[in-house]
Amino acid sequence: MMRTPLMAANWKMFKTPAETKTFFENFLPLVKDAKGCEIAVCAPFVDLPAAIEAAAGSNVTIGGQNLYWAKEGAFTGEISGPMLKALGCTCVIVGHSERRQYFGETDETVLKRTKAAIEAGLKVIVCVGEMLNEREAGETEAVLKKQFEGGIAGLTPEEFAQIVIAYEPVWAIGTGKTATPEMAADAHRVIRTLAAAQFGGVEVRILYGGSVKPDNVSALMAQDEIDGALVGGASLDPASFAKIVNF
C-alpha cells in the first residue's frame, strides 16, 4: 500500500495569533487543490486557537509542538494532551532536537509524551536524528538505534500505528545544509528496518526534516523512502510552504 505523504510545518517560536490568521488567509487558497497529501501546521500554543479557527473545514490540520504526559495537575507552564485535543488539535510533535538540546528531553520522556498524546487521541510526529559530531564519528546508525529503542520501541503495535517518525539530522536544521536525498534515504532505511524488527507489518511514515526548501523538496520526495517533510524556516512564509506542499 502506498504511504500518503505528509507535509508538516513546525513554526517553532515564531508568529503571533494575528500573524497566524494572516498566514492562513494567504496559505489556504494556495493548497486547496493539493491532492493525495496530508498537510499539518504545528504552531506555538498561543497561536493554536487562531490556527484551528482559520483552518476549520480546510484540508489543513493543526498540531502542537510539545505536550506534558500528565492529563492535568500542578505542573506550572505545561500543556497536556487532552487540552490540545479539546482545542481541536489532531497531532503533536514530540522529541524535537531543540527540545532534546535545550530543554532536557530524553528518549525516556519522548516515550512518555508519545504514549500520553496517543491516549489523548492525537497523532504524534516523533523526531529522531544525529548531531554533526555523531555523523562525523560514523555513529549515525547507532544514534538512531538508541533513540528508537529508548523512545519508540516501548510503544504497543497499536500505539506505533498512530505515529509518524521524522528523521531530522541536527546539523541540517536551520543551517541551509540539507542531507542529500541519498543520505536521508539511507537513514530512513535504518529506521524502517528497526521498525520492522520491532513491529512487524505495521507501516510507518518517515518524514525528512532539515533545511527543506521549495527548491530541494522534489529531489527529496523522489526517494521512495521519504514520505514527507517536517519544515521549519520555509514553512513560515505561505507561498514557500505552499510550494513545498505542491512539489
Phi-psi region of 176 (alpha: psi -120 to 50; beta: other; left: phi over 0): left
Residue 209 binds ligand 13P (CB under 6 A)? yes
Binding residue for ligand 13P (CB under 6 A) from 84, 126, 173, 226? 173
Residue 10 binds ligand 13P (CB under 6 A)? yes
How far lies 26's CA from each of 22, 61, 135, in Å? Answer: 6, 16, 39
- Contact region for ligand 13P (CB under 6 A) — 14-22, 151-159, 205-213, 220-228? 205-213
Establish whether 188 is a catalytic residue.
no
Question: How much is the CA Rg of the chain, to the nearest whole Å?
Answer: 17
- In whole angstroms, give the CA distance from residue 245 to residue 240: 9
- In whole angstroms, give the CA distance from residue 245 to residue 179: 19
Q: Residue 107 or residue 168: which is nearer to ligand 13P going by CB?
A: 168
- Contact region for ligand 13P (CB under 6 A) — 14-22, 72-80, 143-151, 231-239? 231-239
Find, among 81, 196, 97, 86, the residue nearest to 143 by Cα: 97
User: What value, to the nearest 5°, has the Cα angle with vertex 156 and ends 154 and 158?
Assistant: 150
Q: How far is the CB of 156 from ligand 13P (least distance, A)?
A: 26
- Contact region for ligand 13P (CB under 6 A) — 32-40, 51-59, 146-154, 167-175? 167-175
Binding residue for ligand 13P (CB under 6 A) from 44, 214, 228, 232? 232
User: At which residue does the C-alpha cell 542531507 appear?
Assistant: 179
Residue 230 binds ligand 13P (CB under 6 A)? yes
Please check whether residue 94 is in contact with residue 133, taking contact to mean a CB–CB distance below 8 angstroms.
no
Residue 164 binds ligand 13P (CB under 6 A)? no
Q: Residue 199 or residue 229: which is nearer to ligand 13P going by CB?
A: 229
Please list the active-site residues: 96, 168
**Residues of this chain that bind ligand 13P (CB under 6 A):** 10, 96, 168, 173-174, 209-212, 230-234
